[in-house]
Amino acid sequence: MHILSFLVNFGVNLFALDNESHTAMDVAASRDRMDCVRFLDAASSQQTNQNPKKVANLKKEAIKEAEKGIQLCEKVKKKHQSKMDKMQHRADNTGSVSEASMASAFSKGGTMSGINEQFSKLIAADKSGSLTARVKGTLQKNRPQNQSVPSRGQNPDSSLSLSTRRELYERDFPVYKQPVEVGCFSLDSERRFFNDGRQMRYYVEPDRSPNFDLRDGYKDRFIKRDDSVKEKLDHMLRWILANRSKLSARGTTASSCDLDIDFVTWRGHLTKLLTAPYETREGWQLAVTRFRGTLYISEVETEAARRDQENRTERHEEMMYWGYKFEQYTCADTVHGQPDPGGVLNTNEAFCTVVQTRLADHRLLFSGEVDCRDKDPNAPAAPACYIELKTSAEICTPKQRSNFHRFKLLKWWAQSFLPGVPRVVAGFRDEEGVVVAMETFPISKISHLIKNEHNCWKPTVCMNFCSDFLSFVKHIATEDNPSVVYLLSWEPRRDVTFSVHRDSPYCFLPHWFVEEMTSSQPSHQS
Ligand code: 0WD
Ligand code: CA
């Protein structure tokens, strides 16, 4: 408000428009800042009364300026696109992306039909490509443009960086194939791996206001996973070794033991990529290794995250338990069973789905933890029968609702959209940790729910950024070597940068995986 009155007194154009043709007053209204709306309304009435001709001119000027802004933005976007295209072209020419094997990826065995090609459009339901601000280039280079292209094994130009500015990713929604579940695995109460679905749970619908006490059992019936143990991609790699025959390139000239996949990672890492253009607080570091043509991506804990974890308050620790407790109130271990909220809660246990899909020309294999499934025997096949469970603070004010839409729904959408989980069931809890209301959010409806929020997040920006990030990774991570790590680092309001590390502590592909993948052919299972 102080800034606003300063600017108005200073003589800014009250009628100036952003690239979506909103005035300052529209923006204030959409954010529920009625104090600002009243102030701006009074100021513009005063100006109109005093000098209607001048106001008419100011309005014209505002439209002209906005048009200029839009044009500038378009230009920068084109530049970004042409750089991405060049990068893609180079990646193809250096042999890091094989068009032939790519095209064959999902047409076999009828697992992915052409109908599913448009999955992205159906479930994301957002094709808007409007522009919001003036921008500079996204893909930045501090050196002259016309230098040589890195070929395989040569160190890439580490001055290359990738912008996360949202304006650059406002284009058509990229192709995102319907994710197909290719397998699953379970982690038991001691975090042991099983190549099966033994930890699957079944959703049991509670009352509309169930009054679950999420604090129950925190002190005496809680076994917490040791989060100082960094598991990296290990569970996924175990799953890959046990299921290699499902993934190997068949009918191509590539060595039959190479995977027919560009990227292997956790779903949680992809969620971070999707939300990066909107993230203002937490950065990340992702380690990438190219091994037998596949790029493996594993998170590295940032210094800030480590500090946050060490300095968590007791209240915060307890609140982290609430999410798991909600699962215990709503999930049964067997299809006809009932939840057992009196039992011990052990966060070592997990059921993970493994899905295969394609984003633009990137063939992805990733795994994500799934809370439970619909117990109806007629429910659709996985992942469409899966349900994500969440807890959130109850919403009492318009401001809280707006924040919920702007921040929480973005994370919920990204996390479930990726593996094709169609709904989130949320328990809204009060300050004491009592669930006072329940609500189901179909993922395909979330983009409609947020439509009224001004300058809100857009699914297309999330997906286009992720796609460009993966192209960037293909371009820079050229050396195929399990002991080389390309470390991609990002902090909010900065570009993504990278550094290269050989035989360093960042190495994350374990010897047992590298040896098994190198020495033997996959055993052909049915
Ligand atoms: O080492 C790491 N940096 C991480 C390991 C980070 C994220 C996940 N993991 C591992 C764990 O082994 C976990 O079993 O991945 C598994 C889950 O992977 P994901 O599905 O890719 O992760 P994400 O989407 O971030 O989280 C899904 C659920 C969470 O549910 P909520 O509703 O809170 O989003 O997995 C749980 C949590 O219940 N979860 C974790 N479980 C164990 N270790 C972890 C973690 N670090 N992070 C989230
Ligand atoms: Ca959950």
- Tokens standing for residue 448: 């409609």
**Ligand 2 geometric centre to CA of 159 (Å):** 39
Residue closest to 442 by CA, chosen among 197, 122, 62: 122
For the Cβ of 415 lying below 6 angstroms from any atom of ligand 1, the answer is yes
Residue 301 confidence (pLDDT) above 60: yes
Residue 387 β-bridge partners: 372, 423
Q: How do residues 324-351 score in pLDDT, each as one tens digit?
A: 999 999 999 999 999 999 999 999 999 9
CA of 266, closest atom in ligand 1: 21
The confidence score (pLDDT) of residue 87 equals: 78
Q: How far apart are CA 65 and CA 68, in angstroms?
A: 5
Distance of alpha carbon 167 from alpha carbon 80, whole angstroms? 11
Look up the pTM and report it. 0.85
369 C-beta closer than 6 A to ligand 1: yes
Residue of 189, 279, 321, 369 to mutate, ligand 1, most atoms within 8 A of C-beta: 369
Cα-to-centroid distance, 499 and ligand 2 (Å):
34
The residues whose Cβ lies within 5 A of ligand 2, an ion, are 371, 389
Please give the pLDDT value at position 282.
98
Span 275-285, average pLDDT: 98
Is there an atom of ligand 1 within 6 Å of 271 CB? yes
Q: Which one of the ligands is nearest to 368 CA? A: 1
Residue-wise pLDDT tens digits, 57-73: 888 888 888 888 778 87
Protein residue with least CA distance to atom 43, ligand 1 = 227
Contact present, 38 and 4 (Cβ < 8 Å): no
Summarised one tens digit per residue, pLDDT across range 470-506 is: 999 999 999 999 999 999 999 999 999 999 999 999 9
Distance CA 351, CA 358 (A): 23
Q: In sequence order, what are the beta bridge partners of 355?
A: 181, 366
Which protein residue's CA is at the shortest distance from atom 45 of ligand 1?
227
Ligand 2 mean position to 425 CA, how many Å? 9
Pairing of strands 372-373, 386-393: antiparallel
Residue 513 near residue 241, CB atoms below 8 Å? yes
pLDDT above 70: percentage of residues in the chain: 84
The rounded radius of gyration (Å) of the Cα atoms in the chain is 25
**Closest ligand 1 atom number to CA of residue 369:** 20
325-329 own/partner pairs: CB under 8 Å, 24+ apart: 325/212, 325/214, 325/215, 325/216, 325/217, 325/218, 326/212, 326/214, 326/389, 326/390, 326/391, 326/427, 326/429, 326/435, 327/201, 327/371, 327/372, 327/389, 328/217, 329/206, 329/210, 329/212, 329/435
Q: Is the CB of residue 390 below 6 angstroms from any atom belonging to ligand 1?
A: yes
Q: Give the CB-side neighbour count of residue 325, counting CA atoms within 13 A.
A: 24
Nearest-ligand number for the alpha carbon of 355: 1
From the CB of 234, is ligand 1 less than 6 Å away?
A: no
Nearest to 404 by CA among 439, 436, 372: 439
115 pLDDT more than 60: no
Confidence of residue 164 (pLDDT cuts 50, 70, 90): very high
Q: Is the pLDDT of residue 146 over 60?
A: no
Ligand 1 atom nearest to 411, measured from its CA: 34
Taking CA atoms only, the protein residue closest to ligand 1 atom 37 is 369
Name which residue sits closest to atom 24 of ligand 1, judged by CA. 268
Chain centre distance of CA 253: 34
| Tally of CA atoms within 13 A in the half-sphere of 502 that contains its CB | 6
- How many whole angstroms from 158 Cα to the centroid of ligand 1? 31
The answer to whether 282 and 461 have CB atoms below 8 angstroms apart is: no
| pLDDT band at residue 353 under the 50/70/90 scheme | very high
Ligand nearest to the CA of 371: 2
Query: Please, are residues 149 and 90 in contact by the beta-carbon 8 Å criterion?
Result: yes
For the residues 98-106, what does the mean pLDDT come to? 28
Distance from residue 369's CA to the centre of ligand 1 (Å):
7
pLDDT digits 0-9 by tens, 426-483: 999 999 999 999 999 999 999 999 999 999 999 999 999 999 999 999 999 999 999 9
Q: Is the pLDDT of residue 103 over 70?
A: no
- Ligand 1: which of 181, 236, 266, 412 to mutate, most ligand atoms within 8 Å of CB? 266
Give 279-336 as a 3 state SS string.
Answer: CCCCCEEEEEEEECCEEEEEEECCHHHHHHHHCCCHHHHHHHHHHHHHHHHHEECCCC
487 lines ligand 1 (CB under 6 A): no
For residue 350, the CA-to-ligand 1 centroid distance in Å is: 9
| pLDDT, mean of residues 12-31 | 80
Report yes or no: 277 and 233 within 8 Å, Cβ to Cβ: no
26-37 pLDDT tens trace: 777 777 677 877
Cα of 524 from ligand 1 centre, angstroms: 31
- Ligand 1 atom showing the smallest separation from residue 367 Cα: 21
Q: How many CB atoms lie within 10 A of CB 300?
A: 18
Q: Whose CA is nearest to atom 47 of ligand 1?
A: 268
For residues 294 and 363, what is the distance between their CA atoms, to the nearest angstrom?
10
| Ligand positioned closest to the Cα atom of 415 | 1
- Nearest Cα residue to atom 12 of ligand 1: 231
At 130 the pLDDT is 31
Q: How far is the CA of 454 from the centre of ligand 2 (A)?
A: 28
User: Would you say residue 40 has pLDDT above 90?
Assistant: no
Nearest CA to ligand 1 atom 22: 268
Q: From the CB of 231, is ligand 1 less than 6 Å away?
A: yes
Task: Give distance in angstroms: CA of 515 to centre of ligand 2.
Answer: 35
Q: Is the CB of 268 under 6 A from ligand 1?
A: yes
Q: How far is the CA of 416 from the centre of ligand 2 (A)?
A: 10
Closest CA to ligand 1's atom 30: 369
The finding on whether 430 has its CB within 6 A of some atom of ligand 1 is no
Q: Which of 268, 247, 272, 267 is nearest to 257 (CA)?
A: 247
What does 105-144 look like in DSSP terms, one character per residue?
Answer: TTTGGGSS-GGGGGHHHHHH--------S----SEE-SS-
> Which of 473, 362, 475 shows the shortest CA–CA distance to 91?
475
Ligand 1 contact via 225 beta carbon (within 6 Å): yes
